[in-house]
Amino acid sequence: MNNNLDVLKEWLIPFAFVFCAGWVIWHGPAYILDFIPHENPSMVAQMTELHQRKDVSPGLGGLFGGLTDIIDWAALLLLPVFFVMGVRSMKLAQMEFENPSKIDRIGMFIGRITMILIISMTLVMLYEVFLRYVVEAPTLWANELTLWIAGFVFMLSGIYAMQQRSHIRIFILYDVLPRWAQHICDTIWVVLLWLFAFFLVFGSYKQVFAIKFYRWEMFGTAFDPPIPATIQPLILITICLIALQALSNLIADWNKDPAELMEKDAIDQEELEAIKKSVGAN
């Protein structure tokens, strides 16, 4: 019974987080106007009109004299709640690294969020295929929503890949080096990654947050999702989290035997047999 409850949590908590995050993102102009309002009246009018056009719950009215209604506030406040619940209730999968740190658990929960996004993207695509080829009434939003979700998947999966050490690595020279030289190589590439992250954020922070995000730049199509306003800030956030995860990996793997680290890259025979059995292979 407890095992079934844990499995249910593994699905429900990331789904609840994705739902709340999607609500908050879609109503981004309301939060911006309430929390960090524009001084330019024309910009305020433009974003107010945008929010009114995109508002999913227009009849509720804003709280505290603003544009955000009770559902907007509930979604915003529940985001950290579901995030903490997801991180704390994380259960390791068979091939994941054991004894994860707090930073590792964040990356693992982001991996679960990415899985929910992949499922969501697949369902949207199947829905569009059904409407287009069966009902002959294609939507105006499915293609762009799929593109938007795919951007999130591409970004967030990099954090999980870094946490699991499953990013592309070349070991031709690394494996023949003594352990002390491997430590030097590991340290150098982490330093280079942090330098890249620093200069990327330093060089584009103003453009991304002061222009794309603060003005809530849309995609400019019929569905008009806020892809520029969300994906570009996510790039900077993702590279910072990847750099932090890389440093955490360096510290966690410093005293480990290289053979122990390579075990996770090896093919899991039990999982391979399960896959063969599921597809009917001998």
- Domain regions of the chain by residue span: 1-40+48-91
Q: Quick one: pLDDT at residue 199? A: 96
The three-state (H, E, C) secondary structure of 177-215, written as one string: CCHHHHHHHHHHHHHHHHHHHHHHHHHHHHHHHHHHHCC
Q: Output the CA angle 114-108-103, nearest 5 degrees.
A: 130
pTM of the shown model: 0.87
Tell me what the mean pLDDT of segment 104-133 comes to: 94
Q: Can you tell me the distance from the alpha carbon of 33 to that of 39, in angstroms, rounded to the nearest whole number?
A: 10
Long-range Cβ contacts of 56-62 (<8 Å, 24+ apart): 56/23, 56/26, 56/27, 62/30, 62/34
Tell me what the mean pLDDT of segment 127-154 comes to: 93
pLDDT grade, residue 212 (50/70/90)?
very high
pLDDT grade, residue 94 (50/70/90)?
confident
Q: Can you tell me the distance from the alpha carbon of 167 to that of 158, in angstroms, rounded to the nearest whole number?
A: 8
User: Tens digits of per-residue pLDDT, 49-93?
Assistant: 999 999 998 888 777 778 999 999 999 999 999 999 999 888 887
Q: Quick one: pLDDT at residue 25? A: 96
Task: Decide if pLDDT at 245 tops 70.
Answer: yes
User: Tens digits of per-residue pLDDT, 158-211?
Assistant: 999 999 888 877 778 888 889 899 999 999 999 999 999 999 999 999 999 988
Q: Can you tell me the distance from the alpha carbon of 9 to that of 17, in angstroms, rounded to the nearest whole number?
A: 12
Question: For the CA atoms of the chain, what is the radius of gyration?
Answer: 22
Q: Tell me, what DSSP letter sits at residue 222?
A: S
Q: Quick one: pLDDT at residue 220? A: 87
Q: Quick one: pLDDT at residue 86? A: 93
Q: Can you tell me the distance from the alpha carbon of 199 to that of 236, in angstroms, rounded to the nearest whole number?
A: 10
Q: Can you tell me the distance from the alpha carbon of 128 to that of 125, in angstroms, rounded to the nearest whole number?
A: 5
Q: Tell me, what DSSP letter sits at residue 97?
A: P
Identify the CA nearest to 115 among candidates 18, 25, 225, 22: 18
Other C-beta atoms closer than 10 Å to the C-beta of 109 total 24
Span of 23-32, 230-239, 265-274 with lowest mean pLDDT: 265-274
Q: Quick one: pLDDT at residue 144? A: 93
* Orientation angle between helical segments 2-26 and 70-88, nearest 10 degrees: 140
Other C-beta atoms closer than 10 Å to the C-beta of 75 total 19
User: Tens digits of per-residue pLDDT, 5-58?
Assistant: 666 778 899 999 999 999 999 999 999 999 998 888 999 999 999 999 999 988
Task: Decide if pLDDT at 267 tops 60.
Answer: no
